[in-house]
Structure 1
């Protein structure tokens, strides 16, 4: 039988989740996903910063960094790359949206295998689907909260492996992000990424690429743009914490030749320590 006790921790130990946990009842919590290698989280300081910011946005008392690091050290024994995911829920409560002021958060750490991405993703680039599912404005824009139903519904729009991800637009047709990644485009020496002000997630790798772009001499602009602008750009790439950076080779029959910017960014991410 598959030993689940080696795959997750709840508040630092192996225990059962209560159906009264508000993450289970309402999606009342946040999460962050990251790479762990040799018990160390890649870009940990940036991930923990986002965990704290997202918890505070939901008025959840953030977990202490030392507790999260202890969890990682306890669960991740192998030196191989694995995927870690922290879920911080508001805690347990009875039925109803209201919760007591002294509620105590629960923390969950999940360990899964590192996905194996096809080599052609890095050598040639990836294809993106333009999703019919639209994103709605949210007061929790930028927060990686547990309510991701729009992303789930968008991911059902295609089968097979022709597309690596899907582009999500808002109700006005502006490009926001992809289902599981952030998106950038380059026009000349300027790199653009959607401004996450009313909807979307501010990923850790997105934040790092913005910093790296400036160090490499690019101008960087967080702004609004529609799909036609994206299709007219010189280069498009997507980012997340697992694969890093991937160049996009095709969107809606628009093709881009292979370029080296994604590879350059991936090399920079490996050496990024601040």
Structure 2
């Protein structure tokens, strides 16, 4: 159920028509925003990415007031998902000349898994390899079939996430989080010009000078003295064991002090204080 009341709530929960282009083609974008007492965290970055995604797809974004109406409602910690589609119309794949975008949202109560902040997580390397498509790289478009297929590769509860490389073996991201790696001196995150989603927490840490961009190939994992996964909802999870889909010993980077400094900065940005 969506949190906003009255007409806004009805609008948010209205069913999509059969000819909605987001439903038919994944023609749209979305954002998943951590909201604390009506205040969306990292909203500037989320809004900027949504605007850029709409620009890439060639459609008008909803005005900011309409988007921010989704953050009204009961206090507390929530996750609000905003979905913007191109609406209905057009002929086949050809989009309408003057689309009427459609906005939907839903808010749900949320509590982070704080045990993973300190104990770290086990992660599997996915068999699926990401395709390269620079025209769509970075944005959070609705067509996430690669992520769906990758996430279907495991059901073991001990595996918290799946790591994804592109077709050339360059590590890119996890199914729903960004990847960071430490070389013993500095933290890095892979470039995302060819594929992957440019996360808002990743952007904030880059802007703060706490991350740098550098590639890491699967064949060069030994360069990483520490690994972690980040996103703007869950925060930072240290990676303590990486399982491979072939007969190979797991990669077990240490839970280093370097995690604590980056985690502290990341969680301050998200309002997680420990």
TM-score when scaled to structure 2? 0.87
The CA distance in 2 between the partners of 1:5 and 1:44, in whole Å, is 19
1:191 corresponding residue in structure 2: 187
Q: Which runs of 5+ in 1 are unaligned?
A: none
1:33 corresponding residue in structure 2: 32
Is 1:242 matched with 2:233? yes
Is 1:269 matched with 2:260? no
Contact 2:190 2:215 survives alignment (8 Å): yes
1:69 corresponding residue in structure 2: 68
Between Structure 1 and Structure 2, how many residues are aligned?
261
The CA distance in 1 between the partners of 2:34 and 2:233, in whole Å, is 6
Is 1:103 matched with 2:99? yes
How far did residue 209 of structure 1 move? Answer: 1.8
Contact 1:133 1:154 survives alignment (8 Å): yes
1:229 corresponding residue in structure 2: 220
Query: Which one of the candidate residues 190, 198, 201 is aligned to 1:205?
Result: 201
Q: 1:270 to 1:223 in 2, by over 3 A?
A: closer
How far did residue 223 of structure 1 move? Answer: 2.6
2:251 corresponding residue in structure 1: 254
How far did residue 269 of structure 1 move? Answer: 3.3
RMSD value, Cα: 2.2
Q: 1:270 to 1:226 in 2, by over 3 A?
A: closer
Larger displacement relative to structure 2 (170-179 or 186-195): 186-195
1:126 corresponding residue in structure 2: 121
The CA distance in 2 between the partners of 1:56 and 1:28, in whole Å, is 12
The CA distance in 2 between the partners of 1:147 and 1:11, in whole Å, is 26
Is 1:85 matched with 2:81? yes
The CA distance in 2 between the partners of 1:14 and 1:185, in whole Å, is 40
Contact 1:230 1:236 survives alignment (8 Å): no
* Secondary structure class of the residue paired with 1:96: coil
The CA distance in 2 between the partners of 1:11 and 1:51, in whole Å, is 23
TM-score when scaled to structure 1? 0.87
Is 1:18 matched with 2:13? no
* Secondary structure class of the residue paired with 1:134: strand
Q: 1:191 to 1:263 in 2, by over 3 A?
A: closer
The CA distance in 1 between the partners of 2:110 and 2:259, in whole Å, is 20
